Amino acid sequence: MSNSIVPKQDNHIIKPEVEIQKSIEENGDLEIYKKYNEFGYELFDANGNHPISDDERKMMILQLEQKFKEVLDILRISRSDPNATDTPRRIAKMLVNELLVGRFSKPPALTVFPNRKKVNNLVISQGIEIMSICSHHWLPISGTCTVAYIPGDYVIGLSKISRIVNWFARRPQIQEELGEQIADYFEELLKPQALGVVIKARHYCMIARGVRGSEEQSIMTTSVMRGLLMEEQSLRNEFVNLIQL
């Protein structure tokens, strides 16, 4: 079998490696710092949020589908393989509607309630499932999140906590920033006396790439403590004992 490249037509000549490399070197910096994409939409951080309309969403899926066809072509995957035929569209929909949905959707509607009984102890929501992808490799981060707070004037329903957590998780993330984003949001929303966000997750970019010792190293625990949980060691101990990490 020959490995030689046979361009089908004259206008379809594959660029030699040096030329691609040269183009990256010449245009590289401009590409990194540009503010808008080729369609005029503003670019923003991977774990940021700019809600989009249904029409924009449909257009985004179509555009992505075209690009993923190119990706398959570059990887020399034939789409006449029945398992690959619709893969570009599947990946496009999965990214926009599932894995990255937190970038493009409004925050979940929330109601906070007055803290009528003057609850002055830890309220802990544990075992909130998290599915995210890492910003560096776009491979899954899967784990659980614990959110705890001592109410100030407000309390919130447990199911709402998990919806907020996942609104932030469903973006390309790094776990450290995910915890801070969640904490910032609840701090602003509830103005609690104490707040803790603990995430324990498995990073598949370690496992999938076969990084040495990845079975243990792939599990990362991050904790964010605010207010009384930051200031009072005894409260922090109580919290850690309660969630038994």
Number of residues that bind Zn ion (CB under 5 A): 4
Q: Does 200 bind Zn ion (CB under 5 A)?
A: no
Q: Which of 205, 228, 229, 235 binds Zn ion (CB under 5 A)?
A: 205
Residue (137 or 160) nearer to Zn ion, CB: 137
Minimal CB distance to Zn ion: which residue? Answer: 205
Please tell me whether residue 202 binds Zn ion under the rule CB under 5 A. no
Residue placing its CB nearer to Zn ion in the complex, 134 or 165: 134
- Closest contact distance (angstroms) between CB of 168 and Zn ion is 17
**In the complex, what is the shortest distance from the CB of residue 245 to Zn ion, in angstroms, rounded to a whole number?**
23
Is there binding between residue 164 and Zn ion (CB under 5 A)? no
CA 117, CA 104: separation in Å to the nearest integer? 37
Q: Given the complex with Zn ion, which of 93 and 137 has the nearer CB atom?
A: 137
* CB 138 to Zn ion: min, Å: 8
CB of 99 to Zn ion, least distance (A): 14
Site string for Zn ion, 119-158 (x = CB under 5 A): ---------------x-xx---------------------
Between residues 115 and 214, which has the closer beta carbon with respect to Zn ion?
Answer: 214
DSSP, residue by residue, the chain: -------SSGGGPPPPHHHHHHHHHHHHHHHHH-SB-TTSPBP--TT------HHHHHHHHHHHHHHHHHHHHHTT--TTSTTTTTHHHHHHHHIIIIITHHHHSPPPP--EEE-TT---S-EEEEEEEEEEEETTT--EEEEEEEEEEE-SSEEE-HHHHHHHHHHHHSSEE-HHHHHHHHHHHHHHHH--SEEEEEEEEEEHHHHHTT-TTHHHHTEEEEEEEEEHHHH-HHHHHHHHHHHT-
Question: Would you tell me which residues interact with Zn ion (CB under 5 A)?
Answer: 134, 136-137, 205
